[in-house]
Amino acid sequence: MSRRAWAALSAFCAAMASLTLLASCTSAADTASQNVSAAADNFEVERRIVGINLRTGETLFLVEGACSLTRDGDLVVICKTGSNPDTFTKNYFGLGPNGGDGVTYVSTQLGPVQASQFRTRMILRPTTVLTNFDLQVGF
pLDDT, tens only, 51-64: 887 778 888 888 88
67-70: long-range contacts, CB 8 A cutoff, minimum separation 24: 67/40, 67/43, 68/40, 68/41, 68/42, 68/43, 69/40
- Whole-number pLDDT of residue 103: 64
Q: For 70-125, what is each residue's pLDDT tens digit?
A: 887 788 888 888 777 788 888 888 876 666 566 677 777 778 778 777 777 776 66
pLDDT at 102: 61
131 falls in which pLDDT band (50, 70, 90)? low
Closest C-alpha among 35, 38, 19, 15 to residue 27: 35
Q: Helix, strand or coil for residue 116?
A: coil
First to last CA, the chain: 79
pLDDT at 18: 65
Strand 104-107, strand 74-80: pairing: unpaired
Residue 84 to residues 48, 66, 106, Cα–Cα distance (Å): 20, 13, 26
- Provide CB contacts within 8 A for 13, sequence distance 6+: none
pTM score, whole prediction: 0.58
- pLDDT above 60 for 21: no
Q: Report residue 19's pLDDT band, with 50, 70 and 90 as the boundaries.
A: low
